[in-house]
Structure 1
Amino acid sequence: MQATATLGDADAGAPSVSRAYAWSVFALTFGLLLADYMSRQVLNAVFPLLKAEWMLTDTQLGSLSSIVSVMVGVLTFPFSLLADRWGRVRSLILMAVLWSIATLGCAVSASYGQMFTARFFVGVGEAAYGSVGLAVVLSVFPAHLRATLSGSFLAGGAFGSMLGMALSGIVAAHFGWRWSFATMAVFGLVLSVIYRLVVTERRLAPERARAAARAARPRFTPRGLAQALFASKSVGFGYVGCGLQLILPGAMFAWLPSYLVRTYAMRLDRASVLAAGFVLISGIGMIVCGVLTDRISRRSPARKWTMAVTYCVLVFAALATAFRLPPGPLQLALIGAGMFMASGVCGPTGALVAELTPPSIHATAMALWALANNLLGLAAGPVLTGMIADRMGLHVALEWIPFASLVAALLFVLGKRRYGGDLERMAQGQCEI
């Protein structure tokens, strides 16, 4: 079956809810994203305790972190496709309940195998939350805010990681690591109940809008869906470029607490709080980079690619220099500068994915983007760093990881070269689905 999707699709620029309710939806969806990443990153704060108690290698520790991102990467696409058909709000609530219960399973784990299994189901629960949640947020705001909203919403990952690291380190230091997992699980379950009471499919789309959407909704074939997702050649470079760039925050989020403990001889609670501060800087940077991208590219859309290249190059310069310096204030300052821009490409890339794919499959398109982000970046970063660390030391591993940014910058340059032609084709014709 065929359907048309143009740059002027009403679904992309005409939200059907009030501004106040739109911001309520954003706040609650953002809150659940915080819970998502708090449950995901609680593990990294207790790495030293698990390593000592269960005698784990760095590769095993990295695998406990990476399995979540692997499952997110593998399942985000099919789960997001189902959410587009079954209902995005219902899907979000089900996901949140599942990952919270799995986090409780982490709290009662008695071995590496049990913890790995529990983390596996944390990943299953979190699989499509980012893509579906972002699609819900974009659906209730005008199109000219896409880079700002993409950066701001996904910054919840950094803020949730920061809260997860800081609170987990403090709770673990006083009550033990099991209570760290239990605390995050309870937070997720409580917020799921609140979300269920406030956000509904009916309130997101009044009856007339839902009827029009159902009438226009295409029946996808595998071939048609693939054509719609890759209707523009440049969007593929955006998917892969963003994924490779996220190797850096993936590695840094997982290993900064351990690096500070090993290199600076900090206590676990202090190292967790300082690492959380760097993650907070990363979240703020995502928002700032998204807002800056929207402002600079509002009259020249191609500048979104330029901004992504700029962020990658600056991150490489800051972090590659930082880990070639001896421990000290200058190194920490450069780590902070690199972390500020490490995830900055998410804003421009999210806007590009929304711009270059039909609105009717935005959750699925965001899922493909999330798959690249997780498999190429957030999953690869921790385990790749752990593997290098087992052989050459953690410091050396962190010296090599920043080179991923140069590869990402090259891919964004290649995407920009094809972007103009893609816009012309989308403006002139129709996207067959």
Structure 2
Amino acid sequence: MSATRILLLFLAINIINYVDRQVISGVFPLLKDHFTLSDAQLGLLGTAFMITYSLTAIPFGAWSDRWLPHKVAAIGVGIWSLATVSSALAWSFGSLFFFRALVGVGEAAYVSTAGTILSNAYPEHKRSAVLGLFNLGMPIGGALGVVLGGWIGVTYGWQWAFVLVGLPGLILGHFAFRLPLPRVEPAEKRPRFHLREIGQLLRNRPYFYTALGYAGISFAFGAIVLWVPTFFERSMGYSLADATMLSGALQVGAGLLGAPIGGWVGDFWQKRNPRGRLYTLVLSMLLSAAFLWAGLLLGSLVCFFFSAFFMLWHVGVASAVIFDVTDRSVWNTASAVAMFLMHALGDIPSPVIVGWISDRTSLFTAFSLLPISMLLASLFFYMASRTLGIQKREAL
């Protein structure tokens, strides 16, 4: 199968991935009323899948390095799709938390393998651009999830929102399982997984700082995507339907422009400087933080758009950096460890923290603190660029 067809299939799966992930954001007000939940509990529902996602990403990544990554990915798609449909059966906060947590198991199998499959299918000099196109699933799928969740939930009930968005993944997972892709390296030549592989990765300073930078992005982005429809409803006076449509439109527009432009800038800069992708991340996080603060102070949708635009520069570039600074033989494991750190320090705690602050002050106050994590991300990416330069000089 051609590389383009592989990209299109995995882009479609990634869109469904984020639809299923973010559909809950569109039905937050409905769930709050149905189960009588606090904002902190809503935040927990938003991060339920991230907990299992983080805990299972490393085992799935190690397994993928030793078997066929596309089949591991396909199994993951099937698991999360069934879990999304099952969320419609929830009868309590605890049962809904369980089903959403099961979504994370499937996503871990998929996300820890998909980037590696595409990086093997395309040459290195196209890596940021290809991963940027693949990660268009984030803004497109995330926006669709919010919009569809809100529209289906208001029209037919929140249960149908989970059912209708969960079914397409089962079909796409079948196609992924049947991909005629060979092993990159015969499985019998790969040693058994040892925990020291993780230790070796964490001692790789450019990799470690990149993962921390990823976590800083995740902290802000995860909370914003999950809470922004509710923020527009409460703080800016929109109806739920209008708030979900507006947040979806902003995310799609910023993503369709930001993800490919960020990937192009990262590749262009990398050709002229071996730390170009890292410098791209440093710049984009600074600009995103500045525009978010401006948007909050001025109540400006234009500033919110540019904050999202620069935020979404990272989606292909940060993934490419992970592959740039690690050995090909451990790419799946490296992706999984980075995903674990990203979520454990990022979008697992942030929606709950935002909900906790909102319960005690306001959602506006909680949002005003989020740019701090973007500034920290920019600092960590800068440290990664510095240590990468030292590492390269030591290797000479």
TM-score, normalised on structure 1? 0.87
2:181 aligned with 1:204: yes
Offset at 1:414? Answer: 1.4
Q: Distance in 2 between matches of 1:347 and 1:301?
A: 16
The one-letter code matched in structure 2 to 1:225 is: E
Given candidates 214, 224, 230, the residue that maps to 1:252 is 224
Q: 1:371 to 1:154 in 2, by over 3 A?
A: farther
1:128 is aligned to 109
1:301 is aligned to 274
Q: Distance in 2 between matches of 1:312 and 1:45?
A: 26
Given candidates 15, 25, 31, the residue that maps to 1:44 is 25
Offset at 1:253? Answer: 0.6
Q: Which moved more, 1:183-192 or 1:112-121?
A: 183-192
Offset at 1:399? Answer: 0.7
Q: Distance in 2 between matches of 1:215 and 1:171?
A: 45
Contact 2:73 2:111 in 1 (8 A): no
Offset at 1:226? Answer: 3.2
Q: Which runs of 5+ in 2 are unaligned?
A: none
Q: Distance in 2 between matches of 1:152 and 1:394?
A: 32
2:37 aligned with 1:56: yes
1:90 is aligned to 71
SS in 1 for 2:356: helix
The one-letter code matched in structure 1 to 2:339 is: A
2:201 is aligned to 229
1:151 is aligned to 132
SS in 2 for 1:385: helix
| Residue identity (%) | 28
Q: 1:87 to 1:22 in 2, by over 3 A?
A: same
Q: Distance in 1 between matches of 2:316 and 2:394?
A: 24
Q: 1:128 to 1:240 in 2, by over 3 A?
A: farther
SS in 1 for 2:191: coil
Q: Distance in 2 between matches of 1:366 and 1:282?
A: 25
Contact 1:38 1:160 in 2 (8 A): yes
Q: Distance in 2 between matches of 1:52 and 1:227?
A: 46
Offset at 1:395? Answer: 0.6
Contact 2:207 2:384 in 1 (8 A): yes
Given candidates 141, 154, 165, the residue that maps to 1:173 is 154
Q: Distance in 1 between matches of 2:187 and 2:222?
A: 41
SS in 2 for 1:357: coil
The one-letter code matched in structure 2 to 1:323 is: L
Given candidates 281, 292, 313, the residue that maps to 2:286 is 313
2:214 is aligned to 242
TM-score, normalised on structure 2? 0.94
SS in 2 for 1:213: coil
The one-letter code matched in structure 2 to 1:356 is: V
2:250 is aligned to 278
Offset at 1:385? Answer: 1.0
Q: Distance in 2 between matches of 1:217 and 1:398?
A: 49
> Greater CA radius of gyration, 1 or 2?
1
Q: Which moved more, 1:244-253 or 1:375-384?
A: 375-384
Given candidates 355, 378, 387, the residue that maps to 1:386 is 355
Matches within 5 A, 1:55-74: 55-74=36-55
Offset at 1:223? Answer: 5.7
Offset at 1:55? Answer: 1.0
Q: Distance in 2 between matches of 1:245 and 1:117?
A: 26
Contact 2:16 2:137 in 1 (8 A): no
The one-letter code matched in structure 2 to 1:213 is: E
Contact 2:71 2:176 in 1 (8 A): no
Offset at 1:42? Answer: 0.6
Contact 1:151 1:290 in 2 (8 A): yes
Q: Distance in 2 between matches of 1:216 and 1:189?
A: 31
Offset at 1:41? Answer: 0.6
1:398 is aligned to 367
Q: Distance in 2 between matches of 1:168 and 1:234?
A: 39
Contact 2:60 2:112 in 1 (8 A): no
Q: 1:54 to 1:24 in 2, by over 3 A?
A: same
Offset at 1:228? Answer: 4.7
Offset at 1:267? Answer: 2.1
Q: 1:194 to 1:222 in 2, by over 3 A?
A: closer
Q: 1:137 to 1:243 in 2, by over 3 A?
A: same
Offset at 1:64? Answer: 0.2
